[in-house]
Amino acid sequence: MTHRTPDIRPVDPQGTDALALLAEAAVEASALYPELHDPTAPGPTNAPTPPRGIYLVAYLDGAAVACGALRPLDEHTAEVRRMYARRSHRRRGLASAILHALEQAAAGFGYRSLRLETGYRQQPAMALYEAHGFVHIAPFGPYVDDPTSVCFDKQIVT
């Protein structure tokens, strides 16, 4: 199968495309972890992009199909967040393209390492991160006491 190159660009995390992808990701997370989700809770939202942060969306034929973001943790470390590719567009290299673009942005911001968290039931995500050189680490920050969290780190090559 031939994969087209997506148009990856920074967007407003509170814009329509970012929020639509986030809503889809939340539905999938609810299905994977039903015991953790309250169906009466309001839907998720995104905070504004912080300084030295970025929110990227990948587009194919003008349609938003994948996303990912960076949020600073400290001067030298950023967290990869909001990684998601629409189910209909998986296995086309979109998540890898977003992850690569985030790594480039992180290097441009002067970060030395990237951290991320995913759920223990998200085997494809873990395989993606390992394939991109991320290594398992102990849970960090808000994930320390979360038994569903699997955390990773990668040193940035500048």
pLDDT in tens, 46-97: 899 999 999 999 998 899 999 999 999 999 999 999 999 988 777 888 999 9
- State the pLDDT at residue 125: 93
Give yes or no for residue 2 having a pLDDT over 60. no
* pLDDT value of position 1: 46
- What CATH number did the domain enclosing 105 receive? 3.40.630.30
Mean pLDDT, residues 93-117: 96
In a domain, 34, yes or no: yes
pLDDT in tens, 6-51: 899 999 999 999 999 999 998 888 777 767 777 777 878 889 999 9
The reply to whether 32 falls in a domain is yes
Average pLDDT of span 103-127: 95
Domain assignment present for residue 2? The answer is no
Q: Is residue 47 part of a domain?
A: yes
Residue range of the domain that includes 74: 7-155
* Residue 114 domain flag: yes
Render the chain in DSSP notation, one character per residue. Answer: ---PPPEEEE--TTSHHHHHHHHHHHHHHHHH-GGG--TTSPPP--PPPPTT-EEEEEEETTEEEEEEEEEESSSSEEEEEEEEE-GGGTTSSHHHHHHHHHHHHHHHHT-SEEEEEEETT-HHHHHHHHHTT-EEE---GGGTT-TTEEEEEEEPP-
Number of domains in the chain: 1
**Is the pLDDT reported for residue 121 higher than 60?**
yes
Domain assignment of residue 1, yes or no: no
Q: Does a structural domain hold residue 92?
A: yes
Say if 146 falls within a structural domain.
yes
Q: Give the pLDDT score at 158.
A: 65
